């Protein structure tokens, strides 16, 4: 995909994340790999709900600005660490989906309790709470992503950030979006089953 089309795709999927209630306010960010050395990401301070293709910025594999009129997202380094760890990753979404956020706050990993999550997501681990936008967070997420490299061949990857939110990774941004939807769906299924007195073990 050329830069212009990929910018539109990142903006379109960002708006879908917001419209489906998977994030709120200016929280969350989406990115897509443009080449071996560059990716496109949402700028800092923009909501995923109304970001446009021309607002997005192009950054290098350290998350430093290459092209664009705005400051890259504070989580650009985290996205960079994921692309560095996973050469096959084509898209990354970070969001604050409400049910999954409950698991992230409680520091409980998501088990693949449904057929969909077993086949297309796998277990979603949770990393300890680390201040957002830091190199430390980028490094921790990059390490977990690297440990799941084999899974990315089969399906998307999910990671919960303690007390913060979720990260979904795909071979394409579309696959990352589906993974984010599955993360939230799985979290809701577990909470719903628990409300029925049948929490999965
Ligand atoms: Zn966040």
**Per-block average pLDDT, block size 10, for the chain (201 residues)?**
96 98 95 97 95 97 95 96 98 98 98 96 97 96 97 96 98 98 98 94 77
What is the model's pLDDT at position 159?
Answer: 98
What CA–CA distance (Å, rounded) separates 179 from 191? 18
Dist. CA 74 → ligand 1 center (Å): 9
What is the model's pLDDT at position 178?
Answer: 97
Alpha carbon 7 to its chain's center = 17
Q: Which residue shows structure tokens 């989906």?
A: 97
What is the model's pLDDT at position 199?
Answer: 87
Contacts of 150 (CB under 8 A, 6+ apart): none
Helix H segments across the chain?
3-19, 76-85, 98-106, 115-120, 135-147, 149-154, 173-195
Dist. CA 173 → ligand 1 center (Å): 18
pTM, full prediction: 0.97
What is the model's pLDDT at position 62?
Answer: 94
What is the model's pLDDT at position 1?
Answer: 87
Q: Where are the domains of the chain?
A: 3-195
Fold of 3-195: L-fuculose-1-phosphate Aldolase (3.40.225)
Dist. CA 150 → ligand 1 center (Å): 26
Dist. CA 133 → ligand 1 center (Å): 9
Q: What is the DSSP letter of 70?
A: S
């Amino acid at each position: 995909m050329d830069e212009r089309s990929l910018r539109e795709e990142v903006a379109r999927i960002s708006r879908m994340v917001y419209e489906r209630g998977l994030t709120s306010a200016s929280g969350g960010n989406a990115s897509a790999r443009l080449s071996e050395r560059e990716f496109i990401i949402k700028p800092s301070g923009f909501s995923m709900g109304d970001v446009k293709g021309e607002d997005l910025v192009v950054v290098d594999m350290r998350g430093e600005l290459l092209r664009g009129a705005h400051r890259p997202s504070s989580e650009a380094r985290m996205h960079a660490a994921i692309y560095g760890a996973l050469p096959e990753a084509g898209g990354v979404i970070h969001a604050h989906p409400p049910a999954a956020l409950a698991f992230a706050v409680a520091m409980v990993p998501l088990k693949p309790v449904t057929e969909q999550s077993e086949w297309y997501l796998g277990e979603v681990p949770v990393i300890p709470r680390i201040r957002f936008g830091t190199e430390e967070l980028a490094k921790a997420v990059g390490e977990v992503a690297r440990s799941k490299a084999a899974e990315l061949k089969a399906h998307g990857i999910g990671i919960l950030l303690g007390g913060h939110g979720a990260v979904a990774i795909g071979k394409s941004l579309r696959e990352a979006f589906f993974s984010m939807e599955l993360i939230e769906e799985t979290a809701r299924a577990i909470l719903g089953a628990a409300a029925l007195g049948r929490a999965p073990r």
